[in-house]
Chains A and B, each alone.
Chain A
Amino acid sequence: MKKIEAIIKPFKLDEVKKALNDIHIEGMTVTEVKGFGRQKGHTELYRGAEYAVDFLPKIKIEVVTTEETAAKVVDAIQNTAKTGKIGDGKIFVSAIEETVRIRTGERGKEAL
């Protein structure tokens, strides 16, 4: 099993969700996060006081899936979240040891 974590631009969430639904991904966890990479922040000005805002709002999507579909998930996210400009985000893939469905106690792929 693999976990795919993607940091994307907030306004891309709906498109990404739809693309994942289209390849039959039936669950995901979404978090509002802040961070920065190469995309610089911006400055705000209040009565002459200037503040540099480094951390920009982003969305983090987490999907856990089988080894076989992981590549399709990564492609789907990369294709839909892309605008071509700095700040589109990143995708991280990692191995997952175990999954448990709390309601039934199913484990592994059955629990996905």
Chain B
Amino acid sequence: MFRKILVAIIFLSYLVMPIAVMAEEAQAPAGQPAAAAAPAPAAAPAPPPKIDSGDTAWVLTSTALVLLMTAPGLALFYGGMVRKKNVLGTIMQSFIILCVISVQWVLWGYSLAFGPDKGGIIGGLEWLGLNGVGLDPNPDYAATIPHQVFMAFQMMFAVITPALITGAFAERMKFSTFLVFTVLWATFVYDPIAHWVWGLSGGKGWLNNLGALDFAGGTVVHISSGVSALAAAIVLGRRKGYMTDIMAPHNLPMTVLGAALLWFGWFGFNAGSALTAGALATSAFVVTNTATAAAALAWMFAEWIQRGKPTVLGAASGAVAGLVAITPASGFVGPMASIVIGVGAGVICYMAASLLKPLLGYDDSLDAFGVHGIGGTWGAIATGLFATTAINPAGANGLFFGNPGQVGKQFIAVLASWVWAFVITFILLKVLDWTMGLRVSQDEEVEGLDLTQHGESGYSS
């Protein structure tokens, strides 16, 4: 009992301290010199855009970092959490999405998401096959780096997003249907939402126009994938033996390695989203790391208090929840706010994964919804609470900095992403279920995806 109280006090101090410091910061707003150097993307169309080698080097590096999140990062994070017989099938889903979307993006994905605006809803087909997407900068998106660098950076976002969903249908989805679903989902869910939030060519996407803030993809990447994951868990149904058989992770060291690689790659995801190598990237880097650490601690303490043990899987999951939640806020909030966002993410996502899921009974196998859907929603709303133009003058102030209206804008962005992602994913999966079949047969599910889908085993025995 005494130990529990002690743990609770340490935990609460994490929550209270940053709020107190933030209150002081609000009274002395001169504390952030970062403002001066932050970019103003829409400015200066007159002089011909000039490529900056530092910016280009940073965004190229960030592109590679974000790739790392999917192919070893997420693949290992998810791979360790499934049973031994499905390790290859799970890793393969992330790996092959990297390949499928890399091609889809170049052919038509980039054009739909970032191409010339059509009514704020979708990009046009003018940039099909990267037609006109060359090596000169496109000042609408990034004035100091070649357009193709921006395209490649965004490609890696388009890659990881469907890979996140695979956590919801792990251990039971047919590989052939999964491939078709990936292409359809990227085209009909990801590309439109990315356009709504980030589209800037020849007109703004409608959520962008509304003034909703999403620095690195809280709505586009995490809400869209997380909510689609919920739809997938509902349409596919539970795994055979769910709630009765032991479905413990087969290799937690693999999962922790994956989580650490996600963390590492996420610096590219968030700090890279500054699209310049300077003050804004630095600020995003610092809040990303801080929120992640706070969230890992929060999940660990929450589970420790509630269930009596500080689990390794809990710490790793908390870190990912923190990364998710800080994503939309990373370019708009300061370090103290990032601690609050992180602690919130750790506790809320812990409750979603371990309390809400069993209560509602859906089998979101690896908690793609619990972590990305719920964590992304918290992050998007929290951005409306803690954003400040002292960090990024191109952004906006949030509720705690005198602009309560921002929360409403964030809420609309969240709601729109939720509805679109859920409804379209639900329809896509239903159609695929009728035409190709979503699940492997019961026998195949028992035997495992590795042998039945790929004809291989992860481990010789």
Report Cα–Cα, A51/B249, bound state, in Å: 11
Report Cα–Cα, A12/B100, bound state, in Å: 53
A contact set with B: CB distance below 8 Å: 44-49, 51, 53
Q: Binding site of A, secondary structure by majority: helix, strand, loop or mixed?
A: strand
Which residues does chain B contribute within 8 Å of A44, judged by CB atoms?
A: 248
B314 interface hit (Cβ, 8 Å): yes
Is the pair A46, B249 in contact by a Cβ cutoff of 8 Å? Answer: yes
B302-345 vs A, CB cutoff 8 Å, 1 = contact: the mask equals: 01000101010110010000000000000000000000000000
Q: How many residues of B contact A (CB 8 A)?
A: 17
Query: 8 pairs across A/B with beta carbons < 8 Å?
Result: A46-B248, A46-B311, A47-B367, A48-B307, A48-B355, A48-B357, A48-B358, A51-B248
Name A44's closest neighbour in chain B (CB-CB).
B248
Q: Which of B246, B309, B353, B354 contacts A53 (CB 8 A)?
A: B246
Q: How far is the CB of B308 from chain A (nearest CB, A)?
A: 9
Is the pair B246, A45 in contact by a Cβ cutoff of 8 Å? Answer: no
Q: Apart from A46-B313, A47-B314, A47-B317, what 15 extra A-B contacts exist at CB < 8 Å? A: A45-B303, A46-B249, A46-B311, A47-B313, A47-B353, A48-B307, A48-B353, A48-B354, A48-B357, A48-B358, A49-B247, A49-B248, A49-B358, A51-B247, A51-B248
B contact set with A: CB distance below 8 Å: 246-249, 303, 307, 309, 311, 313-314, 317, 353-355, 357-358, 367
Which residues does chain A contribute within 8 Å of B367, judged by CB atoms?
A: 47
Name A54's closest neighbour in chain B (CB-CB).
B246
Which residues does chain B contribute within 8 Å of A53, judged by CB atoms?
A: 246
Name A50's closest neighbour in chain B (CB-CB).
B307
Q: How far is the CB of B301 from chain A (nearest CB, A)?
A: 15
Report Cα–Cα, A18/B307, bound state, in Å: 42
Most B Cβ at <10 Å: residue of A45, A47, A48 = A47
Q: How far is the CB of A48 from chain B (nearest CB, A)?
A: 2
